[in-house]
Structure 1
Amino acid sequence: MGRRILFVLHQERSSPGRVGQALIRRGCELDIRRPALGDPLPADMAGHDAAVIFGGPMSANDELAFIKAETEWIGIPLKEEKPFLGICLGGQMMARHLGARVYSHPQERVEAGYYPIRPTADGRHLFDDPQHVYQWHRQGFDLPSGAVQLAEGGDFPVQAMRYGKAAYGLQFHPELTTPMMDAWLEFGKERLNRPGAQPAELHRQGRAEHDATLRAWLERFFDHWLPAEAEKD
């Protein structure tokens, strides 16, 4: 029997994208929930082998009931030492849960497009130097006390972190598929007018140049996050 992974999404049309596809190929079952639309979160991780919280247009600082509930809930996989992955908003929620700041850039700069990040000494086993990743965010997070920084960037220095043995927070979007990029560029095109954002043609050019490397990175990451020898019978 394959492992059961809890996926937390934040909008009705949101997709787990390439992350979901990669885990299905590894024999995992996806339990997709949308607390923003009323789905409950489990009281513990007994029925799940790992959890992923994805991104969304809201802020981890918002006073929304589901934001507060998800941020608090992250303590469950952390306490039980079950694999956890927070992507963009999910990583920011993880940082907030651990007491770190989630913030906007002082010059209101954003990252939207492909940007280089660099591995730290602790992240060299995971990241190329440099590693170009897809970004779509207006806020970043500080490194929480007790966490290990794995990759760093420019306008938003903390790009990847690990807490404990198996909890990871990412600022970037490894789940992105081409249809997802097209949708974001259409429905979120006003973001491209903000300082630091790349024009739409650079998003598509960056995908042609860097997507194969990012796809390979995701597979390498899952080898660390959910190693094959940990699979259930």
Structure 2
Amino acid sequence: MLALSATCTQKMLQKVLNMTDCPNFVSVSPNKQNIKYTFKKVDHNVESSMFWLVEGLLKFKEKFPRTLVYCNSIKDVSLIYNYIISEVPELSRHIEMFHSETTNETKLNVFHQLTEEDFMLILFVATRALGMGVDVLECHSVVLYGPLPTLVDLLQECGRVRRDGKDSIAVIQHHSYQYQHMDEEVKAVDKSSKCRRMVIMTNFVSTTELNAIENSELRKHSCCDFCEKLCNYGNCSEFKLILEKCVDEDILERTKLFNQWI
């Protein structure tokens, strides 16, 4: 008998699959060191939540990094897609949405664009209908919008990037109402006052593996937004990806506006 799982927590192994005493157990760590985790709280309306993404598109145009935006519902996909298209209509041919109601013709085009080196689409707004098994080429940026049901979903959706080994970033954003629907394990990562990677991996790997992650030579600025604050590597801005810079610039601009207001 052969039992396989793409992503599995320690709790699932013990209580669901009962595989802790399996004599021939092979496990590969789900920790992807080149993916940086950034959690970002946003406002309730889509316009405010995705303003930073629009600003990035306006600034970098066709050179904006290929990015996946995952949403929990077709409604959110439509709202985000229509908002972005309305703000940057000149880039409409470079942006597409994907969900269960998408026409077959569009689905085929999206799959073709995702897997071909000579691609035109740079931004995909999608639900989980965009299969987890798709190997997306030249993609190093993913945005998860809304509450994630489980940490397994978080890792799987973040796993769309970094497949070529290059530095990548996952921006996980939500507002207060969405937070209420988050799984408790995901909430723990969001509320963490220490390394988010360590909190996530506590649920997936053994103590030995966890210690190895903690003591690795992982550059702090490429681990998570919390670790970046503690980084003594130098000027981290030199190493930031375009999407990450867009997030930081948005936060900086909002801070300036807030300070002017008070």
Give the TM-score, by structure 2 length. 0.32
Structure whose residues are more often strand by fraction: 1
Give 1 or 2 for the bigger CA radius of gyration: 2
Which of the pair has the greater relative contact order for Cα pairs under 8 Å at 6+ separation? 2
